[in-house]
C-alpha cells in the first residue's frame, strides 16, 4: 500500500515541480528534470503500481 501511494504521490509532486520550472524543468541539465526521470521508474520497478493494487485488493 505504501509503495503504491508514496510513488504515486512522488510523481504528482515532481510533475508540479517540472511545471513550475517551465522549459528548464524539461532540460536534463537541470536537477528537477533528472529528479522527474528518476522518480518515474518508481511506479514500474519493484512491482508496478497496477500490480500493487492487485496485491492490495487480494487482502481486502
Ligand atoms: C531500472 C530497472 C531496474 C530493475 N531492477 C530489477 C532488479 O534488480 N531485479 C528484478 O528482479 N527486476 C528488476 N527490474 C524489473 C522490474 O521489476 C519490472 O520491470 C517490473 O516488475 C515490471 O515488469 P515488466 O517490465 O515485465 O512490465 P509488464 O509486466 O510487461 O507490465 C507492462 C505494463 O502493464 C501493466 N500490467 C501488467 N499486468 C497487469 C495487470 N494484471 N493488471 C493491470 N496492469 C497490468 C503494468 O502495470 C505495466 O504498466 C527492473 C526494472 C527497471 C526498469
Query: What distance in angstroms lies between residue 55's CA and the mean position of ligand 1's atoms?
Result: 14
Instruction: Provide the pLDDT for residue 7.
Output: 97
Q: Using the atom order of ligand 1, give the atom closest to the CA of residue 49.
A: 47
Residue 40: per-residue pLDDT: 96
Q: Quick one: pLDDT at residue 39? A: 96
Show the cell assigned to 1.
500500500
Cβ count near 4 (within 10 Å): 18
Domains of the chain: 2-54 (1.20.140.10)
Which residue has a Cα nearest atom 17 of ligand 1?
45
What pLDDT shows up at residue 36? Answer: 97
Q: What is the pLDDT of residues 3-60, one digit of tens each?
A: 999 999 999 999 999 999 999 999 999 999 999 999 999 999 999 999 999 999 999 9
Q: Which residues form ligand 1's pocket by a CB distance below 6 Å?
A: 41, 44-48, 50-51, 54
Amino acid at each position: 500500500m505504501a509503495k503504491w501511494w508514496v510513488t504515486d504521490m512522488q510523481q504528482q509532486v515532481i510533475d508540479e515541480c517540472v511545471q513550475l520550472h517551465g522549459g528548464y524543468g524539461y532540460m536534463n541539465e537541470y536537477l528537477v528534470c533528472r529528479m522527474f526521470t528518476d522518480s518515474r521508474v518508481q511506479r514500474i520497478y519493484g512491482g508496478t503500481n497496477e500490480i500493487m493494487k492487485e496485491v492490495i485488493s487480494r487482502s481486502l
